[in-house]
């Protein structure tokens, strides 16, 4: 005979927590996030002020011991109700141009995360990362981790996902893995199609974003702040057709054409482009505030999208406070975050699994 267990409340440790997107979403799913771990001290105030009750542990995971983590959080080995989330920095695995020498520092973070999973053996494990972790067949980092899960008796499901199938108005492709040693089977959150996940339904005047100019600085917690533009870029964006226009309209203007793109119309076509109103937004990167780093032009105003607009497309609530200093740091925190709505759905899936787990009696 099988019966359902009365189980304790789920709790989690958010490794590489950043500004707290994953923690915030899991909390909305009813999960107690005991702590977030990150080596960036600029995330601390943002993390803690928005996630009361969750401790920010400033630490380099390479230097943090299992015993130290237990002492700081009170977690124990073999706790079925414990979740470990590892959303490590992903520069090594991303397609975006980065300093590869610096990026190598992020290559083996999954191995360090595995060290903690092996020691504590939590009931559930979650990994969210860029697709490159999954698609790069020249490296064995992910396959080694999957072999480890098999040996440790975890069931798991993993795949590439599109964030707009999970309540996020972005074309944000990610790798997601969910594993459990409590449930015999576990599946990724169920996909859904929602035609309302368009930019028009999240930003714009009708959604509380008044019209602003490039260079506007908003010192309130709303941070409707837009980066300044050079005179050339002001001319470029003013000439770019509204609602999805691209730099093709001024490519033949000798004063405005970018030398690096001359004769290369198919190279980085989204750069300097405007966002479409009636489609999901682009992937919100760490440089979404910059017109020259992607399709980040406002659909109709002559500027890049503001910090709060980017955060909203990431599904942060409009009251989420970003405390880092300066537009670059705030944009980095926003772009690096796991969208809270995606995190919430991950949390709901684990909660359902936990509450419906059965044992033999």
Catalytic residue among 17, 87, 90, 249: 90
pLDDT per position as a tens digit, 344-357 = 999 999 999 999 88
What residues contact residue 135 under an 8 Å CB cut-off, 6+ apart? 160
Region 205-233: mean pLDDT is 98
pLDDT of residue 320: 98
pLDDT at 101 over 60: no
pLDDT per position as a tens digit, 43-83 = 999 999 999 999 999 999 999 999 999 999 999 999 999 99
- Return the domain boundaries, the chain: 10-189+339-360
pLDDT of residue 106: 58
* 43 flagged as catalytic: no
pLDDT of residue 361: 30
Share of the chain above pLDDT 70, in %: 92
pLDDT at 96 over 80: no
pLDDT per position as a tens digit, 112-133 = 999 999 999 999 999 999 999 9
**At which residue do the structure tokens 């009361």 appear?**
52
> Which three-class secondary structure string do you get for the chain?
CEEECCCCCCEEEEECCCCCHHHHHHHHCCCEEEEEEECCHHHHHHHHHHCCCCEEEECCCCCCCHHHHHHHHCCCCCCCCEEEEECCCCCCCCCCCCCHHHHHHHCCHHHHHHHHHHHHCCCEEEEEECCHHHHCCCCCHHHHHHHHHHHCCCEEEEEEEEHHHHCCCECCEEEEEEEECCCCCCCCCCCCCCCCCCHHHCCCHHHCCCCCCCCCCCCCCCCCCCCCCCHHHHHHHHHCCCCCCCHHHHCCCCCCCCHHHCCCCCCCCCCCCECCCCCCECCCCCCCCCHHHCCCECCCCCCECCHHHHHHHCCCCCCCCCCCCCHHHHHHHHHHCCCHHHHHHHHHHHHHHHHCCEEEC
Average confidence score pLDDT of the chain? 92
User: Tell me, which fold does domain 10-189+339-360 have in CATH?
Assistant: Rossmann fold (3.40.50)
**Quick one: pLDDT band at residue 262, thresholds 50, 70, 90?**
confident
Q: What is the token pair recorded at 283?
A: 């992937």
């Amino acid at each position: 005979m099988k019966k359902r267990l009365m189980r304790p409340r789920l709790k989690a440790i958010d490794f590489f927590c950043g500004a707290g997107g994953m923690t915030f979403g899991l909390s909305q799913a009813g999960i107690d996030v005991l702590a977030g771990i990150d080596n960036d001290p600029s995330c601390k105030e943002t993390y803690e002020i928005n996630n009361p009750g969750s401790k920010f542990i400033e630490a380099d995971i390479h230097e943090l011991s299992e015993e130290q983590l237990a002492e700081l959080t009170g977690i124990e080995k073999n706790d079925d109700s414990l979740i470990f989330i590892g959303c490590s920095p992903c520069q090594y695995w991303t397609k975006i141009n980065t300093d590869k020498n610096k990026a190598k520092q992020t290559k083996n973070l999954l191995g360090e995360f595995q060290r903690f999973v092996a020691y504590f053996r939590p009931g559930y494990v979650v990994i969210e990362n860029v697709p490159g972790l999954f698609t790069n067949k020249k490296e064995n980092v992910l396959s080694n981790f999957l072999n480890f899960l098999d040996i440790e008796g975890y069931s798991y499901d993993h795949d590439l996902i599109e964030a707009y199938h999970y309540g996020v108005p972005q074309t944000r492709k990610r790798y997601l893995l969910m594993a459990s040693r409590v449930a015999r089977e576990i599946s990724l959150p169920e996909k859904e199609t929602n035609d309302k996940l368009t930019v028009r339904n999240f930003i714009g005047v009708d959604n509380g974003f008044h019209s602003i100019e490039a260079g506007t600085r908003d010192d309130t917690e709303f941070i409707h702040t837009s980066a300044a533009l050079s005179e050339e870029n002001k001319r470029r964006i003013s000439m770019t057709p509204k609602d999805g226009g691209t730099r093709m309209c001024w490519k033949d203007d000798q004063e405005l054409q970018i030398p690096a793109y001359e004769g290369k119309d198919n190279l980085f076509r989204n750069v300097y482009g405007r966002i479409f109103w009636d489609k999901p937004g682009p992937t919100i990167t760490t440089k979404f505030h910059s017109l020259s780093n992607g399709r980040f032009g406002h659909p109709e105003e002559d500027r890049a999208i503001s910090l709060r607009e980017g955060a909203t497309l990431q599904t942060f609530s409009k009251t989420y406070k970003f405390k880092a200093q300066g537009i670059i740091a705030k944009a980095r925190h926003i772009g690096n975050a796991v969208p809270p709505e995606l995190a919430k759905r991950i949390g709901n899936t684990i909660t359902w699994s936990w509450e419906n787990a059965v044992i033999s009696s």
